[in-house]
Amino acid sequence: MSESTTPVKAPHLFTLSDYQSGIARWCPGCGDHGVLAAIQRICTEEQLPPHKTVFVSGIGCSSRFPHYMKTYGFHGLHGRAMPVACGVKARRPELQVFVSSGDGDFFSIGAGHWIHGVRYNMDMTLTIFDNGIYGLTKAQTSPTSPLGLKTKTHPHGAILPPMNPIQATLGMTNLSFLAQTVDWKPQHLKATLQAAYKHKGLGIVRVMQRCTAYTADLHDEWRRNPEKVLLMKHDKGVPVDPKIDKAFKNQVEHDPTDINKARELGDRTDVLPIGLFYVNPDAPRYDQMTNAGLEMSNEDKAKGLNAALDKFAVR
Amino acid sequence: MSNQATASVKVTHVEEQIVEIVSDSGEGAQKAGTAFAALNAKMGNGVWTVEIIPAEVKPPARSTAGASGIRVRFGQEHMTNMGDQADLVMAFNEQVLYGRINQEAYRPGTVILLENKWKDSNNDKIKAQYAKALVDFADRGFVVKEMPLEEACLAHTKNPKLGKNMFILGMLVWIYDRKLETALEEIDHLFGRKGETVVESNQKLCRAGYAYAMETLDFRFSIEAKARAKELVVMNGNEAVGLGIMASGMDLLSMYPITPATSVSHYLGDALGKVGGFLHQAEDEIAAVGFAIGSSYAGRTACTVTSGPGMALKTEFMGLAVMSEVPLVMVVVQRGGPSTGLPTKVEQGDLLAAIFGAPGDAPKLVIAPATIEECFTFIPRARQMAEEFRGLVVVLTDANLATGVQPFPRPEVKPEQFNIPFEQGEWEAGKPPYDWDEKTGMSPRPIPGQVGGEYVLTGLAHTNFSKVAYDPSTNQTSSEMRSRKFAAFRDNLPTPKVHGAEDGDLLIVGWGSTLGSIVEAVDRARSEGKKVSTLHLRDLNPLPRGLEDIFKRFKQVMTVEINYSDPVELGEDRRYAQLAWWLRANTLVDIDCWSNVFGQPIRPGLIYDEIVRRLSEGGLR
């Protein structure tokens, strides 16, 4: 058969429906729906083959995420999404890995894997759905619940100041990408998640959202006063849609490679900074270390094992 | 070289010997003992080595708790355990010997070559301690030979503290008429990485020790060696586990440091790369198993290695592996428990935790190697079981196997053993990710990357399509499917063979590292006409079929285990040892037990005594 007669197969194009699975069972109006829509659109735009894409999660409302994706998924244990996701990526570098976690899942029970996950910096996209409450288990205080928030475990109001996870993350070794966005601005949400996806390394996005059942007015301060949202802009930052540019007049030109400036912005509580706090594309990636030896042939493995046995041989 | 010995030297022929080198921590006793054991193995002798390890890195010098060192049992025959009391001891001070005396390691007649610099110590307290100990040792019937070992070393090295161990090795080589050349080769093997200067200075000290023993000692022993038919390898149980992982084709070890399991990773830190694998040291025990499960899910079946406290932390993930049917091999090197317990000491206390650990019904396969060779062979077997039965396999070893050194036939290596053992093509359209066979519960699994196999694994109750389901029948059905794999597994489990007669007065049942001691004790009792046999179990969950029939042929059945049980005198309040408990529950046979938690391997002599007691008049229950 000559080359000219070989039928050229048109590349299969994945459409939105190739990523959609069932009807999401989150409450109507929950911010999770918006993140799901954004990620499904990103998958379509980036043409990610569903069979080579893995969504990993822990436990909580946001961790139901993989069930609504028609890709591979791993809905595991409370707080343990990161170790599983890192294990998936370790020896299968060609898989595209996404992690979905929440404020309780990630900043509380899984907090140990936060600091180490940042240090590993494996190439994957991490979305933290932060609604300041344990929603699935029906309204217990979370690490990011505001002071005074009445919950089932603190009926007289949360008694500790909320954790600032941005501040904490900006202090972690080997951080390579940290952004923040809000669930009520879909353009910014998608642009931020897409930037995290495109980043080679651990792209972390904290999505500020509300739980319609328990923290519906959590972000009223920012939502009602857009001038209290501080839009971080830069060529190296999250691309800014004209609508967003118009919506948020309070802006700052922030070079995301400047860690000191990032930390100043991360400390602020008078405004809500959104956009890219910090990026370091050169941070060492553990997935480029864990894949060592994948190409070794069986013959070489047999040689290697024999050489190892030689050291114990009784000659 | 033996012809150079002076005529006044008395040479005694022996079939086996137990030698100990005991010192403060950090004096290199283990290194000398390891070299001596390897040398004996290379000469064709049977060897069993066990390390004497204090709990701290640098315990106080000259203390009972600080006893550090090694025991080497070697002889004409294959050696299967550490034996009873030592024949010869090389000791760097008298106080550490009390750590061993407390463990009944010596007997009247045990020869102790003792460093004597303490008698002239400037410290009056040390001087007095030494003098007092000498009197006490004589009372105990030990044969003590005081020797200025450190002083003798001074002629050959500036720092005798660092070189004394090789000097001792040289002395042992002379005492047991071993090949000096082979010992020097072994030193090269031990120190080769540190450069020629280090090798040469250690070899020099070994030669000096050999010459010194020849000049000063008036006794020697001769031990014959049997010719070997096969090529052997010699290593400890943790190294065997490490090589087993390499041979299994699992190319990821995900671990967190924990005594006494960590040395598996010390070995694999360098070696795993030789078969294209990777060692991940995780941030904690939970992350270690999570990482392994993630890799297994993605088709790169992984292994994790831990000890009791680590297994406790991994429990939730163990349940997930069972529930979501992800293959995983978990090696548990048991130590004394509960809680932090006895980190460096042996116990077989995690059997029931391994079988039952994890909430709900979480059936997992549990196997236990009984020899160093099985520490190797059981890992590829565990991997195969994990793949085939799509779930968790726990391999229970212990601190005794971890540090015990024994030669075994060199395993054969074939490139095919590294093949990935499952289909990687397209997943059949419409086939569920849990395509349970109704009879066996078995199912192939889709791997990320397989077109058409997309599914979402979940730890929630799920249908065969891995869809979350809370309806009354789904959980019942999926639990049944996971349980049926066990019955199917039993189809392939042979009924274990009884060692000794098929019936009699007493059957000893054991598992794990006690095999050698039990067999030795039983053989000794049988040679005296006692009707005792033994059965050793490697498959603990599920148990093989046919055990009841075996048990019923004996008047009495008793397990011997290293875990806690109450004495018989407690009557109906009595709590049973773990295997006894498990066998009673499974067979409804009234099985007795004899166990302790001294943190020591059970010596054959103690088992023999117990056999005699049980078979004596009134001993039968």
The predicted structure's pLDDT at residue B160? 79
Q: Is A45 a domain residue?
A: yes
Residues A83, B287: C-beta atoms closer than 8 Å: yes
Q: What is the pLDDT of residues B270-287, one digit of tens each?
A: 999 999 999 999 999 999
* pLDDT score recorded for residue A2: 44
A253: distance to nearest CA of chain B, Å? 37
Count of A-B CB contacts under 8 Å: 201
Tell me how far apart the alpha carbons of residues A189 and A243 are, in angstroms, rounded to a whole number: 13
CATH architecture of B2-222: 3-Layer(aba) Sandwich (3.40)
Residue A1 has pLDDT above 60, yes or no: no
Percent of chain B with pLDDT over 90: 87
Mean pLDDT throughout B153-158?
Answer: 88
In a domain, A2, yes or no: no
Q: Which of A43, A51, A297 to mutate to test the interface with B (most CBs of B within 10 A)?
A: A51
Judging contacts by C-beta atoms under 8 Å, the chain B residues touching residue A122 are none
Q: Which of A72, A294, A296, A303 to mutate to test the interface with B (most CBs of B within 10 A)?
A: A72
ipTM score above 0.90: yes
Does residue B593 contact residue B559 with C-beta atoms inside 8 Å? yes
Mean pLDDT is lowest, of A92-106, A111-125, A180-194, B60-74, for B60-74
**B558 φ/ψ angles, rounded to the nearest 5 degrees:** -145, 130
To the nearest whole Å, the CA of A65 is away from the closest chain B CA by: 10
B114 within 8 A of B146, measured Cβ to Cβ: yes
Query: Sorting pLDDT into bands at 50, 70 and 90, what band is A153?
Result: very high
Question: Mean pLDDT throughout B169-175?
Answer: 97
Cα of A42 vs its chain's centroid, Å: 13
Q: What is the CATH number of the domain that holds A134?
A: 3.40.50.970
What was the pLDDT predicted at B618? 62
Query: Could you read off the pLDDT of A181-217 as tens digits, one per residue?
Result: 999 999 999 999 999 999 999 999 999 999 999 999 9
* Average pLDDT of the residues in A240-246: 96
What pLDDT does B128 receive? 96
Look at residue A3 and tell me whether its pLDDT is greater than 60. no
pLDDT at B8: 84
CA distance A96 to A125: 9
Alpha helix ranges (H) inside B441-471 = none
Residue A315 scores a pLDDT above 70 = no
Residues B37, B403: Cα–Cα separation, whole Å = 13
E-strand ranges in B399-437 read 405-409
pLDDT at position A45 is 97
B188-199 confidence digits (pLDDT tens): 988 888 899 999
List of chain A residues whose C-beta atoms are within 8 Å of the C-beta of residue B287 = 80, 82-83, 112-113, 116
Q: Quick one: tokens of A301?
A: 């493995």
- Are the folds of B2-222 and B233-418 the same? no
Output DSSP code: residue B217: -
Q: How confident is the model at residue B141 (pLDDT cuts 50, 70, 90)?
A: very high
Residues B289-315, mean pLDDT to the nearest whole number: 98
Beta strand pairing call for B405-409 and B232-236: antiparallel
Shortest CA distance to B292 belongs to which of B264, B338, B326, B337? B326
pLDDT tens-place string over residues B385-409: 999 999 999 999 999 999 998 999 9
> What pLDDT score was predicted for residue A10?
63
Distance between B449 CA and the closest CA of chain A, angstroms: 5
In this prediction, residue B137 carries a pLDDT of 98
Contact between B418 and A91 using a beta-carbon 8 Å cutoff: no
B276 to A304: CB separation less than 8 angstroms, yes or no:
yes
Q: Which of A21, A87, A315 sits opposite B294 (nearest CB)?
A: A87
Q: Strand (E) positions, B424-553?
A: 456-458, 504-511, 532-537, 539-541
Q: How far is B309 from chain A (nearest CA, A)?
A: 18
Q: Which residue of chain A is at minimal alpha-carbon distance from B271?
A: A308
At B421 the pLDDT is 75
Percent of chain B with pLDDT over 70: 98
The strand pairing partners of B534, in sequence order, are B499, B508
d(CA A195, CA A197): 5
A273-289 pLDDT, tens digit per residue, is: 999 999 999 999 999 99
Just give the CATH number of B233-418. Answer: 3.40.50.970
A1 within a domain of the structure (yes/no)? no
Backbone angles phi, psi at B413, to 5 degrees: -120, 130
Residue B619 confidence (pLDDT): 62
By Cβ distance, the residue of B232, B291, B413 closest to A87 is B291
* Nearest chain B residue to A18, by CA: B454
Does residue A4 lie within any of the structural domains?
no
Domain spans of chain B, in order of start: 2-222, 233-418, 425-492, 504-615
Q: Which tokens sit at B496?
A: 């274990």
Percent of the residues in chain A that have a pLDDT greater than 70, as a whole number: 96
For the record, the structure tokens of A219 come out as 């972000």
pLDDT of the residue at B93: 95
Task: Give the nearest chain A residue to B411 (CA atoms).
Answer: A309
d(CA B256, CA B275): 21
Residues 6+ apart with CB under 8 A from B207: B170, B180, B184
Nearest CA in chain A to B190: A311
Using DSSP, state whether A153 is helix, strand or coil. Answer: coil
A167 three-class SS: helix
Residue A94 belongs to what domain range? 12-310
pLDDT per residue over B227-262, tens digit each? 776 889 999 999 999 999 999 999 999 999 999 999
Nearest in space to B294 (alpha carbons), one of B274, B317, B310: B317
- Read off the pLDDT of residues A34-44 as tens digits, 9 standing for 90 and up: 999 999 999 99
Domain at B504-615: CATH architecture: 3-Layer(aba) Sandwich (3.40)
| A5 domain-assigned | no
In contact, B482 and B572? CB cutoff 8 Å: no
Name every chain A residue with its beta carbon within 8 A of the beta carbon of B298.
54, 87-89, 91-92, 95
Number of domains present in the structure of chain A: 1
Mean pLDDT over each residue of chain B, to the nearest integer: 94
B474 CA to chain A: closest CA distance, Å?
18
**Any idea which residue has 């103690």 for tokens?**
B606
DSSP A107: I
B289: nearest Cα among B242, B333, B330, B325: B330
- Least CB-CB distance to B298: which of A88, A296, A312? A88
Residues forming beta bridges with residue A297, ordered by sequence position: none
